[in-house]
């Protein structure tokens, strides 16, 4: 007797294709046991509380565990996104992708109400041709960027201006397997480009919920632009549920100008001011800001002219791999 | 939930089995909150929940050679330990229904604990599915679309949708069934 094929069992577990299978299932223990487990999975999935997010585990509890196990201090201090971690065993851990892989809140981020809506909006949006699918920031990265073996957090990164820290260069090369997968998926490129952007946002939105310990989500060098020598670096850090930008910058004191920190979208059309900057400093990001939409860190030179707009005089820039 | 997840998980599991304490820490970061919440929901006091959560990770670490990645995912294994700890604690607290006796009631209570664990594990595994697969599974789970409707909505071939559903469900299933076999 031949067994039901896995696709059929899957659809049965999901409640499709019930006709004609009962006879076999009644007489075949293997298939019915298989189906039982798949149904248990589907039942669990369909009853997920989509609004639930498990909180970060209490730090003091980890301290108790580490103490009971007498762990070495290095491990007991845990990971900060830069330190030696399990994910860090990969040859060149992508700064944005690796930490969330382990620290995303157990309840799926996109299940939270707002991201879920966004995700479904994304699904709907890609049903129409991309030209009509809304602004690029919602439609996700250009198609050629989405040979979708890339992790979503990176697939969601808009095309990077070539810069000293273009993050795409830093990730591990795709293996043959993922390349094979990539070609299979290429046909779905448009769909995925839309989805990838949306989920990248969901990931970023969820980052703030995962941990109380400061954790580097992404970082970039700030490279001087034409005619400027201003250089430094910026780290996007998640701390106590909020995102902040830690900037390390060599700012020369000046009395008739000041410097201002901005986040821009990749086209430079949209910008959010994070305020004046006097050198090294920590700048809180407005809650709810979708960093994936504003990945470019920009430092401008501003006059004391009372005009809150960007002067157009950018001195230094870098792009966060979010 | 990133596509790099598989590689990262392999690293985590390898590190865990090799006794790399950083891997335990990574597992704590990834699933400690879930285990803790599960314990907090199932047990009467914060102290009980914290004790059990601590025991789960301590036992998991000390007994890590018993974890067989072939049998299931690490979080499922951790949850298997957590479920046993929760049940033990409930019994010790005499909170389990009719501790002396009615097997049906005990089974019902255990089943409820199992369902809670299943939901959390599947939610976690779903969030970690590759993006395209996850979207398709979510449409089947939460929007109750058939595979034909999903294919139409996403403009994908039927076979692609079926394959994603099959492989997605297989991954989710693997996230919950390990404790049966271990």
Structure confidence by residue, pLDDT tens digits, B132-173: 999 999 999 999 999 999 999 999 999 999 999 999 999 999
* Separation between Cα atoms, residue A238 and residue A234, nearest integer Å: 13
Running DSSP on this structure, what letter comes out for residue B74?
A: H
How many inter-chain contacts (A to B, CB under 8 Å) are there?
261
The helix/strand/coil state of A118 is helix
Strands A281-284 and A271-277: unpaired
- When CB atoms are compared, the residue of B22, B33, B165 closest to A85 is B22
* Residues B48-84: b if buried by 16+ CB within 10 A, e if exposed: bbbbbbbbbbbbbbeebeebeeeebbbbbbbbbbbbb
Between vectors from CA A203 to CA B57 and to CA B20, what angle results, nearest 5°?
Answer: 30
pLDDT (0 to 100) of residue A1: 59
Q: Which range (B3-7, B14-18, B88-92) has the least confidence?
A: B3-7
Best of A83, A84, A102, A214 to substitute, by most chain B Cβ atoms within 10 angstroms, is A102
In B, minimum Cα distance to A149 occurs at: B3
Whether residue B18 has pLDDT greater than 50: yes
Mean of all residue pLDDT scores within chain B: 84
pLDDT (0 to 100) of residue B104: 65
Kindly determine whether residue B141 and residue A42, on different chains, have CB atoms separated by under 8 Å.
Answer: yes
**Max Cα distance, chain A (Å):** 87
Query: Is the distance from CB of A9 to CB of A38 less than 8 angstroms?
Result: yes
Q: With CA atoms as reference, report the closest residue to A196 among A255, A264, A262, A149.
A: A149
Kindly determine whether residue A195 and residue B147, on different chains, have CB atoms separated by under 8 Å.
Answer: no
Please compute the mean of the pLDDT values over residues B81-97 and round it to a whole number. 80
Taking contacts as CB-CB distances below 8 angstroms, the residues of chain B near A191 are 132, 154-156
What is the value of ipTM here, to two decimals?
0.78
- When CB atoms are compared, the residue of A16, A126, A192 closest to B131 is A192
A95-137 pLDDT, tens digit each: 333 333 344 444 443 333 343 333 343 333 333 344 443 344 4
Please compute the mean of the pLDDT values over residues A200-210 and round it to a whole number. 40
Tell me the percentage of chain A whose pLDDT exceeds 90: 9
Is the pLDDT higher at A168 or at A55? A55
Contacts of A131 (CB under 8 A, 6+ apart): none
pLDDT (0 to 100) of residue A140: 38
* Residues A63-92: b if buried by 16+ CB within 10 A, e if exposed: ebbbeebebeeebbebbebeeebbbbbbee
Query: Is the distance from CB of B147 to CB of B139 less than 8 angstroms?
Result: no
Give the other-Cβ count within 10 Å of A309's Cβ: 10
Contacting A residues, span 209-228, partner chain B, CB-CB under 8 Å: 210-211
Taking contacts as CB-CB distances below 8 angstroms, the residues of chain B near A218 are none
* Separation between Cα atoms, residue A279 and residue B162, nearest integer Å: 55
Query: Is the distance from CB of A154 to CB of A244 less than 8 angstroms?
Result: no
Kindly determine whether residue B22 and residue A148, on different chains, have CB atoms separated by under 8 Å.
Answer: no
pLDDT (0 to 100) of residue A46: 93
A281-311 pLDDT, tens digit each: 788 888 888 888 888 999 888 888 888 888 8
Whether residue A258 has pLDDT greater than 90: no
């Amino acid at each position: 007797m031949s067994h039901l094929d896995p696709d059929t069992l899957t659809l049965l577990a999901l409640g499709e294709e019930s006709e004609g299978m009962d006879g076999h299932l009644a007489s075949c223990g293997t298939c019915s046991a298989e189906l039982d487990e798949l149904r248990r999975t589907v039942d669990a999935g369909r009853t997920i509380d989509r609004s639930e997010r498990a909180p970060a585990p209490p730090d003091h509890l980890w301290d108790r565990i580490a103490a009971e196990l007498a762990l070495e201090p290095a491990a007991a201090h845990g990971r900060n996104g830069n330190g030696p971690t399990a994910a860090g065993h990969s040859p060149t851990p992508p700064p944005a992708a690796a930490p969330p892989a382990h620290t995303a809140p157990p309840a799926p981020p996109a299940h939270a109400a707002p991201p879920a809506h966004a995700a479904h909006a994304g699904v709907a949006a890609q049903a129409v041709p991309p030209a009509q699918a809304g602004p690029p920031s919602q439609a996700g990265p250009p198609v050629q960027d989405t040979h979708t073996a890339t992790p979503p957090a990176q697939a969601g990164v808009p095309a990077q201006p070539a810069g000293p820290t273009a993050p795409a260069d830093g990730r591990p090369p795709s293996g043959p397997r993922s390349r094979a997968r990539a070609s299979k998926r290429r046909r779905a490129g448009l769909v995925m480009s839309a989805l990838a952007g949306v989920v990248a946002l969901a990931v970023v939105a969820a980052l703030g919920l995962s941990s109380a310990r400061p954790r580097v989500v992404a970082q970039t060098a700030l490279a001087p632009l034409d005619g400027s020598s201003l250089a430094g670096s910026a780290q996007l850090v998640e701390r106590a549920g909020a995102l902040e930008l830690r900037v390390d910058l060599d700012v020369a004191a000046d009395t008739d100008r000041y410097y201002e920190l901005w986040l821009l979208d990749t086209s430079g059309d949209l910008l959010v001011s994070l305020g004046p900057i006097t050198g090294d400093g920590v700048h809180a990001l407005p809650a709810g800001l979708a960093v994936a939409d504003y990945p470019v860190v920009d430092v401008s030179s501003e006059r004391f002219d009372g005009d809150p707009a960007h002067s157009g005089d950018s001195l230094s820039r870098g792009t966060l791999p979010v | 939930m990133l596509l790099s997840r598989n590689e990262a998980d392999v690293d985590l599991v390898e590190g865990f089995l090799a006794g790399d304490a950083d891997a335990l820490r990574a597992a704590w970061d990834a699933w400690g909150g879930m285990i803790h919440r599960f314990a907090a929901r199932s047990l009467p006091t914060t102290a009980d929940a914290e004790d059990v959560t601590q025991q789960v990770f301590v036992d998991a670490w000390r007994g890590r050679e018993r974890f067989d990645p072939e049998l299931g995912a690490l979080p499922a294994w951790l949850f298997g330990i957590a479920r046993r700890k929760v049940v033990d604690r409930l019994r010790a607290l005499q909170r389990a229904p009719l501790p002396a006796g009615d097997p049906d009631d005990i089974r019902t209570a255990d089943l409820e604990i199992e369902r809670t664990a299943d939901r959390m594990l599947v939610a976690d595994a779903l969030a970690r599915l590759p993006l395209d697969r996850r979207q398709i599974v979510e449409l089947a789970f939460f929007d109750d679309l058939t595979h034909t409707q999903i294919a139409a909505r996403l403009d994908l071939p039927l076979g692609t949708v079926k394959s994603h559903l099959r492989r997605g469900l297989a991954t989710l299933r693997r996230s919950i069934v390990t404790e049966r076999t271990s």
